Amino acid sequence: MYGPIIKKLRTQKGLSLQTVYKDVCSKTNSIKFEKGERNLSIDKFLTVLDTLMIDMEEFLWIQNMYKPINTDLIEYRLNDSFNENDVKSFNKYLDRLEENSNYKNKLKLASYRLLKQFLNQNNFNESDLEIIINYFKELKFWTINDLELFSRTCQMIPYNFMLTMLNEAIKVASRYLFFNKNNYVICNLLSNCIGIMIDRKDITNAERFINTLSQFNDGIKFNGYKLLSEYYKSKIDFLYRDKNKGLDELKNILYISKFLNNEQITEEIEALFENM
């Protein structure tokens, strides 16, 4: 029940019942709510949170004693260790997630097991792969969480299927135009898919989606993705168009990536140079 937590927040802020529950419910019902004896409808509850200057995300954080929910923390560390290519840590956190009896999301578990196999350079488990592919085949309406799932698994699914799904995924962006993490999710998804396209020598689609990526990385917060876009363009020049031109461009990007401590781009460019 959320009422007792709301009461604690209200009293800590020094706000009266009348101030918080005006136009929400009667004084009697507000007291019952704060005692945990009744619930509020979602619209009324959100009104109360708004009066307290708290959004739902922060409320859930407070409810969990100012720390992330255990499974959320494990997922955060899983994604972080994957991005760092830290196989040992990834395996450890996946084991913890699988041992957690409260974690019921079979889709996410399948995606994380596929990432584990990718990191360990093992063959993908067919049943896990089938779970992911069938989910996207049957998906009629995309959400942000679907985009994140697709971003995690795009390198495991068949290439042509990935292209089809990516075109569907991009359509979601307009629905979440002002949603807090929309651009981050879209940029991350596009970056992952573009890297696959370049490795597949599908330059036409790679350049098309690099242009799409540039539509979502405006503002200083997205400078990392802007640099990644330039890296992809230069990589295409270096590998498939004009090697000398691409080499000069990559040298400039390498300098910037080192200055910004962007390890991903730095390591990828240095690997390209080593294979010259």
pLDDT tens digits, 127-153: 999 999 999 999 999 999 999 999 999
Tell me which of 1-10, 28-37, 155-164, 173-182 is least confident.
173-182
Contacts of 216 (CB under 8 A, 6+ apart): 173, 183, 186, 187, 190, 222, 225
Q: Name the CATH superfamily for 3-63.
A: lambda repressor-like DNA-binding domains (1.10.260.40)
Burial of 104 (0-12, 13-18, 19+ CB in 10 A): exposed
Supply the pTM of this predicted model. 0.86
Scanning 100-222, the segments in alpha helix (DSSP H) are 106-119, 126-138, 144-153, 159-170, 182-199, 203-214
* Mean per-residue pLDDT of the chain: 93
> In angstroms, rounded to a whole number, what is the distance separating the alpha carbons of residues 203 and 25?
60
Residues 70-84 have a mean pLDDT of 90
Q: Say if residue 180's pLDDT is above 90.
A: no
Q: Report whether pLDDT(69) > 90.
A: no
Q: What is the pLDDT of residues 184-230, one digit of tens each?
A: 999 999 999 999 999 999 999 999 999 999 988 877 778 899 999 99
Q: Which two tokens stand for residue 47?
A: 């009104």
List, in order, residues 6 or more apart from 247 with CB less than 8 Å away. 238
In terms of Cβ atoms closer than 10 Å to its own Cβ (0-12, 13-18, 19+), residue 166 is buried
How far apart, in whole angstroms, are the C-alpha atoms of residue 217 and residue 220? 9
